[in-house]
Structure 1
Amino acid sequence: MKHDKLIKIGDIMEVEITGLQKYGAFVKFGKYRGLIHISEIKSSYVADIHDLVAVGQRCQAQVIDIDEYNSKISLSFRTLEAHPQTHHMQRKFHFNNPTNKIGFKPFNEHLVSWTKEQVSYLKTVKGIAG
């Protein structure tokens, strides 16, 4: 499903947990599907995700990344905690700064130039022929 711009990073959504894996919780909200990585379940260490959430549970989650190329949406419970750790302030900066590029798209945009720089470096400094 191509992202249709109806949701954006920072939106708070009502989600339903549809599946659990050791690395995170799969959720659905409207016509969308997403993942809440185990590191985004809560600020403190999570040993077993099954101790905190269950399939069928409905709750609030915040959109933290949208990968338009692979149609993947990442969400977080952690950013909605009353007193989240430092990362919340960093994410808040990104949400409120529309010129700040985060996510997979900027990485893809820069990958070609980074590769060229690395090849050039290897040719000049390391003496590798190419």
Structure 2
Amino acid sequence: MRYRIGDIVEGTVTGLQPYGAFVQLDQTTQGLVHISECRSAYIKQVQDELKVGQKIQVMILDIDEYDQKISLSQRSIQDLQDIKDADFTEKHNFESTYHVYWTNQHLNIGFETIKKHLNQSLQEALVKLRQ
């Protein structure tokens, strides 16, 4: 079977390692679910989440073009389901939302800081370019 990135397929867990779980997708194809792709929360051990022989649904994240190794994710499917279940019908009043600014919005300094250090910055840039 030919797999594509983004496909959701069912497979069987065939092996567990500290770094993830190997999943058999068909008779000739196997992929790896990295421990970070099991679910969104922290997982101490893969064995706490998956068992050998367990059938799971996974999303194909990546297929290495040279050795055809397949990276799988169980977390992506859960995230997709959370998005589908989310209620986006509630309207939000974005005008009253608190905004975070990188500078103090009460100070009106404009470009004074840049103007003050412009010559020094230009000299440093010219020295680096001439190296």
Same fold (TM over 0.5): yes
Q: Once the two structures are aligned, what percentage of the paired residues are identical?
A: 46
Question: 2:69 and 2:6 mapped to 1: Cα distance?
Answer: 15
The aligned counterpart of 1:113 is none
Corresponding residue of 2:42: 45
Report the 3-state secondary structure (helix = DSSP H, G, I; strand = E; otherwise coil) of the residue aligned with 2:10.
Answer: strand
Counterpart-to-counterpart distance in 2, 1:58 and 1:7? 18
Alignment partner, residue 11 of structure 2: 15
Give the deviation of 1:26 after TM superposition.
0.4
Mind listing any 5+ residue stretches in structure 1 that lack a counterpart? Answer: 85-123
How far off its partner does 1:13 sit? 0.7
Q: Which runs of 5+ in 2 are unaligned?
A: 84-127
The higher radius of gyration belongs to: 2
Runs of 4+ aligned residues of structure 1 deviating over 3 Å after TM superposition are none
Which of 48, 55, 59 is residue 58 of structure 1 equivalent to?
A: 55
Matched residue, 1:71: 68
TM-score by structure 2 length?
0.59
Inter-partner Cα distance in structure 1 for 2:43 and 2:82: 17
